[in-house]
Amino acid sequence: MKRRKKKKGLTLDSYVCFSIGALIVYTIAERLISAVTGTSADVLTGCFFGAFAGEILSCCLIKLLKLKKEGQDDERIDL
């Protein structure tokens, strides 16, 4: 009997790419709106970049810690 593989949903790599894409789209939209209206949303921009930068940082830390843990597990097996 074959087991079906579970779909994992978004992986860390695809989530980081989504976050970077969202930051680029937001930057372009904010520049266009500020050119038309003459004002900028400084607080919104700070919050948006803070949230997505925090998500990217946490994804990178998760990946680094996983790689470090896998490396330590490999060393234990080799001994």
SS3 letters across the chain: CCCCCCCCCCCHHHHHHHHHHHHHHHHHHHHHHHHHHCCCCHHHHHHHHHHHHHHHHHHHHHHHHHHHHHHHHHHHHHC
In a domain, 1, yes or no: no
Counting the structural domains of the chain, the total is: 1
In a domain, 2, yes or no: no
For residues 63 and 12, is the Cβ–Cβ distance under 8 A?
A: yes
pLDDT tens digits, one per residue of 26-69: 999 999 999 999 988 899 999 999 999 999 899 888 888 887 77
Residue span of the structural domain in which 31 resides: 12-78
For residues 12 and 62, is the Cβ–Cβ distance under 8 A?
A: yes
pTM over 0.75: no
pLDDT tens digits, one per residue of 4-36: 665 655 688 888 889 999 999 999 999 999 999
In a domain, 61, yes or no: yes
In a domain, 40, yes or no: yes
In a domain, 27, yes or no: yes
